[in-house]
Structure 1
Amino acid sequence: MVLLFISGFHRPRGWRRLLAEELPDLDFRVWADEAGDPADIDFALAWDPPMGELARYPNLKAIFSLAAGVDHLLKDPALPEVPLIRMVDPALISGMNEFVIHHVLHFHRRFDVFEERQRRREWKELPAADTACRRVGVMGLGAIGSAVAGKLGGLGFAVAGWSRSAKEIGGVESFDGEDALIPFLNRTEILICLLPLTPATEGIINKETLAALPEGAYVINCARGGHLVEDDLLAALDSGRLAGAALDVFRAEPLPREHPFWRHPKVIVTPHIASLAVPRSAVPHIAENIRRIENGQPPTNQVSRERGY
């Protein structure tokens, strides 16, 4: 068995070592220097490979995503028709919980305001903040979104979620379908985007949807940059209609140095680090699916190419 590791971002060392422990007979190769004969490759573990690259391997049995989302793979029109398997990693969920909770609390407690007052050396309080009165909304209730919504509910926030189909999550009000999007936004003071990026969700955070949020709302995008129409967000921030935004993902990454987000006083920028796969917790799921495929069983956590997730 030969697995090809393709990523310009992730370091292969930990993946190689842990996969060797799980699958001693696995030949782990790093693209491109170690790829060898394309006909040798059985599996690919990939993040954002070059267009057409995966089509070069005629005996590929499955493609494993190195990220929770698979848009970086599905954008390739030449993607081989083999099982596409999403990343399953408890660390992805815990990392996203940490990132979102940090920023929700930052905005809920108005630390953005206090940071500005510190710069002005202004000692001035704000009224006490009550989590039960803070309406938080999560767009996207997949495995990660559902976990985040549940954690926020556990902190006492008034949490709602919006998704393609109805979901039942304890303590979370569920909105589903296109007709429910605007009512969901109307009640949401802190909006968190955790949607998969598909043709249906491209540009979903735009002038119209931002206008549906209450005045003074905040936006947290830690899904994909393609969800956000950046100029529409800037206009809403500059007009004073929105109070702030925390952005971890962008249409162009790395974010260009001249981009206005870098210097905008109401924007927090992080470099796509909200949640990262950890080899220690992700490798057992990858190894189990390789075993299943080698034994003639269907892999788990397959992506629906039609839905895009």
Structure 2
Amino acid sequence: MLAELQHHAQFQHQQKQKQWKVIEPKQLSTQTVIIYGTGEIGGRLAAVLKSFGVRVMGVSKSGNEKPSFDQVVSISKEKELLKEADWIISTMPLTHETKSYFDPKWMNVVESAYFINVGRGATVDENALVEAIEQKRIRKAYIDVFEHEPLTKESSWWDHSNIIITPHISAVTTPEEAVECFVETLQKVEQGGLPSNLVNIERGY
């Protein structure tokens, strides 16, 4: 977000051209962000963005209010927010309900927003996303997760000027963190409690 708002790419280009040309950066506090998924990841992201004065809206299955979000709506009411978005960030899990959720119909509602996916690749209709970028409904997409990984060398996404690819590295777990989580979970189970990372099989996450 900072790279876009502060025109990093343009300034790098100007540096190569030895041009001193002032372009005023935009403030994060002028931005409206919609986060899909208001759980642990989405909630932490909202808290960080709020500390910079960002207007943060959330979309979840329930629409229940959550800390750090200015407003949370249910999926059925998302269209009311989409046209206000400067940025749309997905942290959604992959379930039967979310597969290809970001489809052509959804893309048609968006009006010139940036799109970031750090949730699951299969929640996005990849062809629909490319079309939305070509039609400038999506200004640029930052994609960390894909339906099929690793992304094949034949994919046209590698060369697309408005798609930024990262190789599924937005939530790296170190060996130390994994051991700490395992030990904490084991202790809670042995004490007859429920671990904080309990999965609801019916919900799928």
* 1:146 equivalent in alignment to 2:11: no
Aligned match of 1:223 in 97, 101, 119? 119
Q: Give 1 or 2 for the bigger CA radius of gyration.
A: 1
* Letter of the 1:152 counterpart: L
Name the TM-score, length of structure 1 as normaliser: 0.60
**Higher RCO structure (Cα 8 Å, ≥6 apart):** 1
Contact conserved, 1:108 with 1:134, CA < 8 A, in 2?
Answer: no
Identity %: 29
Give the match for residue 212 of structure 1.
109
* Letter of the 1:168 counterpart: K
Q: CA deviation at 1:173?
A: 1.8
Distance of aligned partners of 1:293 and 1:241 in 2 relative to their CA distance in 1, 3 Å threshold: closer
Give the match for residue 74 of structure 1.
none
Q: Show structure 1 runs of 5+ residues with no match.
A: 1-103
The CA deviation string for residues 43-98 of structure 1, in whole angstroms up to 9 with x for no partner, is: xxxxxxxxxxxxxxxxxxxxxxxxxxxxxxxxxxxxxxxxxxxxxxxxxxxxxxxx
Q: CA deviation at 1:118?
A: 4.4
Give the match for residue 94 of structure 2.
197
Alignment of 1:118-129 (within 5 A): 118=14, 121=17, 123=19, 124-129=21-26
Give the match for residue 67 of structure 2.
169
Give the match for residue 279 of structure 1.
175
Give the Cα separation in 2 of the matches to 1:113 and 1:234.
23
Distance of aligned partners of 1:186 and 1:240 in 2 relative to their CA distance in 1, 3 Å threshold: closer
The CA deviation string for residues 189-235 of structure 1, in whole angstroms up to 9 with x for no partner, is: 111110111111111222222222222x1101111111111111111
Give the Cα separation in 1 of the matches to 2:102 and 2:9.
22
Q: CA deviation at 1:254?
A: 0.5
Aligned match of 2:158 in 243, 262, 276? 262
Q: CA deviation at 1:121?
A: 3.8
Aligned match of 2:146 in 250, 267, 273? 250
Give the match for residue 107 of structure 1.
4
Aligned match of 1:156 in 53, 56, 76? 53
Distance of aligned partners of 1:118 and 1:257 in 2 relative to their CA distance in 1, 3 Å threshold: farther
Contact conserved, 2:110 with 2:137, CA < 8 A, in 1?
Answer: no
Name the TM-score, length of structure 2 as normaliser: 0.88
